[in-house]
């Protein structure tokens, strides 16, 4: 587990995911390895049918900056954004 002490994030990063398992590890690591460390990383899984959710949960357990949010059914982009806004 990464030991980051985040008081109030200065930045929120939002990543919608749908069946992106082949690219997900690299994408998440790219965000986590930025020089700015004081951020929250909200990952919304849009009812993926591959292993995306397992990968997201694995990262979320190790890094407290990640907020993993699963959607039970796939929804249009506008609704995903609305869901994201409600999560912040």
For residue range 20-60, what is the model confidence (pLDDT) as tens digits?
999 999 999 999 999 999 999 999 998 999 999 999 999 99
**How is residue 20 written in tokens?**
């992106």
For residue range 59-75, what is the model confidence (pLDDT) as tens digits?
999 999 999 999 877 66
Q: Determine how many CB atoms are found less than 10 A away from the CB of residue 13.
A: 16
Indicate the pTM of the whole model.
0.78
Residues 6+ apart with CB under 8 A from 27: 15, 20
5 or 74: which leads in pLDDT: 74
The pLDDT assigned to 4 comes to 58
The pLDDT assigned to 3 comes to 58
């Amino acid at each position: 587990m990464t030991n980051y002490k985040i008081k109030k994030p200065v930045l929120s990063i939002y990543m919608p995911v749908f069946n992106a398992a082949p690219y997900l590890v690299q994408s998440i690591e790219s965000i986590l390895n930025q020089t700015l460390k004081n951020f929250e990383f909200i990952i919304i899984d849009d009812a993926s049918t591959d292993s995306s959710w397992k990968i997201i949960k694995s990262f979320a357990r190790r890094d407290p900056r990640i907020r993993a949010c699963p959607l039970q059914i796939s929804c249009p982009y506008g609704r995903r954004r609305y869901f994201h806004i409600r999560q912040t």
